[in-house]
Every structure is written in structure tokens, then in C-alpha cells.
């Protein structure tokens, strides 16, 4: 019996996806539940498991990088076939080659031969497969091996997706360029950022926050915090907590425009912008207002790891009411973050730099961070935006208020 494997529905608004990578090849015997391929939508990358056990045959139209509609048939499974004696997931020696573009292994079977997903990651990193030790069957390089591989100066440069146009001038000077197709995620990011700029009355207000007290508190208790909660105490949990308290005081910052109505939220679902190899994603910490610092830290870590590995689900990135982005981890001193529509505001954190500060008439050197709040002026007035940012500043500068809820 043969069953068809189709692109599943992965969201109400999603009609087309990109087949990112095949993890199995035509002719492989797969067990029910094994991951066959990865599918990239405009919001996340999802894995497609086998519905039954059998021999896989990949459709000619289902090449890696192909754009496919929901419901498209990408492969078939022969469920009447028996599992090979050498193991359920071992490919047949005479199996038809997978319809993906990759070089055949030089010798030694699968030794140092990456899976399709692993090859794509290695190519993006510019790492040669023969420099990576595979942990898979017969030394095959798995996706996990590729993710953990680190490049070096000896690594081969990543091949360009399209043939580069190269002009070599006298003296060996090159003016090479290449053209790369935008990923579905990057196209969606571009579209949403443009919509935010064109469809909102966006303004940005700034303030600075003295980080001395919160850094002293963190330094004093970080070891005990880690011992008890098994996670480090970072600044993001303090800022998330401060924002949830400020949102209660200024509910308009936590509201959204819906047609001719304004929707106010009694809860704070805070989106945390996370940079991944494929682009910026914003997973959401649900009901952050009811969480402790430890709970916030654990949830941020869980979502960030899933984002890095491309495992975030659609539901984990939808429905946020407010967003925080931290450009400081990349060294940004000041920026004007763009609103994550349909939300009405976003807080931008930046790097911490020692600066002269006046304390009780004396000039001292303290660690200072600049904060930026971009907001939709259609729903948030200037007074509200300034009050919100001032509240966040006061809570960070006196973090004991967060613990006492005052």
C-alpha cells in the first residue's frame, strides 16, 4: 500500500511554504514518527514526521528550496515494504538518489558525508564537511553536528547560491558580487517592517537608566539564584518585570487598534526579540506579569534555544501585546526600534557604558544604559509614553520596588 505525504496546514494565513531540507532520501526505510523534512513558513520552521513506516519516494517537484502550496504531494510511502535487516532507518544500497543538489561522497560510504539539512547549515557557515566529525551512522554528519561545528580560517568558503559575477582588475583586486534569494522568513520580516512604518504614526522617546543598583543586586545574589533555580540571573528578566508593572500603570501602551476599536489587555504577553541564523523572530512570554524573575529567565531561555534551532511553533510567536528588543548585545548605543504590529509599542535596550552621573551633587562614574520606546501615536499619547519609560527607569534604578510591588 502506498500513501501520499502532503504539505500540512500550519496556520490559518499560510498558503505557501518552502521545503527547507530533506532529512531522509528516496529509498530510505523510515519508521512512523521519524522526521522526513523541514518546512519553512513565513513565521517558523516546522518538522514533518512520517505518518507510517515504509520506503520513502520523494517527488521530483519536492526539491530543497522549492516553494509549495499547502496540500501539495511531496513524497509517497510504500507501507507494504519490509524493514531492512540492517536497521529500520538504513537506506537501501540500490536506492534511487535523493532529488537534492549535493556532491557525492568521495569514498568510505557515509563517512563525513552530511545529511541534506547538515550540508545546508555547513554551507551557510562556510565549513568544509571533511573538517567535521560525524556522530551519525558510519560517521555521517547530522544536523546537530553541523549546528555545533565551528569554522576556522582553514574552512572552505561557503558556495554562493548563484554564480558570482566577478571582475578581476590589475593587481589581483576583485569586484565580486553574488545574488541570493531571500528566505521566506526574511521576506516576511521586510514586509512587516514596511507595514509598521507605513501604517502607524510611530514616534520614539528616549531616557537613560542608571544600572548601578540592579547590577549590584545581581552581583550579590547571582550565585545563590543559580544554585536555587538552575539558571543565570540576567538583565532581561528585570526589564521584562519592570515593563509588566509599567504596562499596568499605562494600559494604553499594552493596547492595540482593531478597526475603530481599541483592545486593552489585562495581561502582558511580552515578545522577546531573538536573533537567529535565519533572521529576527519574536517568541512570546505568556502572562509575564504573573511570573517571578526565575520563571521569566527560564521561559526566555527555552524560547531562545528553540528559536536558535528553528523549532519555534507558530503559536509561540503569535498574540504578543508588547515587545522588548536588546540591541545592546551587539554593541548598539542607541536606536529607534520598529513596532511589532499590531502592537502599539516596543522597548529598545542598548549597551551598558560607564558614564559620569550626578549623585547628590557629586559626579560619579556609573554604568548607564539608554532606553528607547517606539510607540504608535494614534493610540499612545506623548504623556503616556514618557510616563511608561520613566516608570521602567525608576523600577530598574530601585529594583527592590519590583520585589515589593510598589
DSSP-assigned letter for residue 95 = P
- Exactly one of 130, 223, 315, 381 is catalytic; which is it? 381
> DSSP string spanning 33-89?
T-EEEEEE-SS-EEEEE-SS-EEEEE-TT--TT-EEETT-EEEEEETTSPPPTT-TT
Phi, psi for residue 229 in degrees, rounded to 5: -105, -5
- Exactly one of 130, 223, 315, 377 is catalytic; which is it? 377
The two beta strands, 279-281 and 345-349, are: unpaired
Residues 237, 296 contacting (CB under 8 angstroms):
yes
263: enclosing H helix or E strand: strand 261-263
Distance CA 239, CA 347 (A): 9
> DSSP string spanning 342-402?
TSSEEEEE--EEEEEEEETTEEEEEEEEEEEEEEETTTS-HHHHHHHHHHHHHHHHSTHHH
Active site residue 381: yes
Full 3-state SS string of 122-164: HHHHCCCHHHCCCCCHHHCECHHHHHHCCCCCCCCCCCCCCCC
CA 63 to chain CA centroid, nearest Å:
24
Report the alpha-carbon angle 321-325-329, nearest 5: 160
CA 301 to chain CA centroid, nearest Å:
12
Active site residue ranges = 377, 381
Amino acid at each position: 500500500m502506498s500513501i501520499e505525504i502532503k504539505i500540512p496546514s500550519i496556520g490559518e494565513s499560510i498558503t505557501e511554504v518552502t521545503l527547507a531540507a530533506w532529512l531522509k532520501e528516496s529509498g530510505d526505510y523510515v519508521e512512523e514518527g521519524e522526521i522526513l523534512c523541514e518546512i519553512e513558513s513565513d513565521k517558523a520552521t516546522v518538522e514533518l514526521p512520517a505518518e507510517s513506516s515504509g520506503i520513502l519516494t520523494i517527488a521530483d517537484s519536492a526539491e530543497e528550496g522549492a516553494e509549495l502550496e499547502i496540500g501539495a504531494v511531496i513524497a509517497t510511502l510504500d507501507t507494504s515494504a519490509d524493514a531492512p535487516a540492517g536497521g529500520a532507518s538504513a537506506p537501501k544500497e540500490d536506492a534511487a538518489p535523493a532529488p537534492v543538489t549535493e556532491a557525492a561522497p568521495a569514498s568510505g560510504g557515509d563517512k563525513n558525508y552530511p545529511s541534506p539539512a547538515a550540508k545546508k547549515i555547513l554551507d551557510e557557515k562556510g565549513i568544509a564537511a571533511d573538517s567535521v566529525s560525524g556522530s551519525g551512522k558510519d560517521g555521517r554528519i547530522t544536523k546537530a553536528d553541523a549546528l555545533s561545528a565551528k569554522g576556522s580560517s582553514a574552512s572552505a568558503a561557503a558556495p554562493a547560491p548563484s554564480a558570482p559575477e566577478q571582475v578581476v582588475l590589475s593587481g589581483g583586486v576583485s569586484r565580486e558580487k553574488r545574488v541570493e534569494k531571500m528566505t521566506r522568513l526574511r521576506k516576511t520580516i521586510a514586509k512587516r517592517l514596511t507595514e509598521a512604518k507605513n501604517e502607524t504614526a510611530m514616534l520614539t522617546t528616549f531616557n537613560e537608566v542608571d544600572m548601578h543598583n540592579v547590577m549590584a543586586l545581581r552581583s550579590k545574589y547571582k550565585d545563590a539564584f543559580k544554585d536555587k533555580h538552575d539558571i543565570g540571573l540576567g538583565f532581561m528578566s528585570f526589564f521584562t518585570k519592570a515593563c509588566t508593572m509599567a504596562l499596568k500603570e499605562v494600559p494604553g501602551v499594552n493596547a492595540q487598534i482593531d478597526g475603530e476599536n481599541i483592545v486593552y489587555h489585562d495581561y502582558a504577553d511580552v515578545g522577546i526579540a531573538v536573533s537567529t541564523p535565519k533572521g529576527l523572530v519574536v517568541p512570546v512570554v505568556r502572562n509575564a506579569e504573573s511570573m517571578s524573575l526565575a520563571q521569566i529567565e527560564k521561559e526566555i531561555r527555552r524560547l531562545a534555544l528553540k528559536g536558535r534551532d528553528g523549532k519555534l511553533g507558530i503559536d509561540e510567536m503569535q498574540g504578543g501585546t508588547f515587545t522588548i528588543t536588546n540591541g545592546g548585545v551587539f554593541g548598539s548605543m542607541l536606536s529607534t526600534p520598529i513596532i511589532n504590529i499590531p502592537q502599539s509599542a516596543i522597548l529598545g535596550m542598548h549597551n551598558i557604558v560607564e558614564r559620569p552621573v550626578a549623585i547628590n551633587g557629586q559626579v560619579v562614574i556609573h554604568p548607564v544604559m539608554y532606553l528607547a520606546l517606539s510607540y504608535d501615536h494614534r493610540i499612545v499619547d506623548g504623556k503616556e509614553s514618557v510616563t511608561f519609560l520613566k516608570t521602567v527607569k525608576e523600577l530598574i534604578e530601585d529594583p527592590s520596588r519590583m520585589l515589593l510591588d510598589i
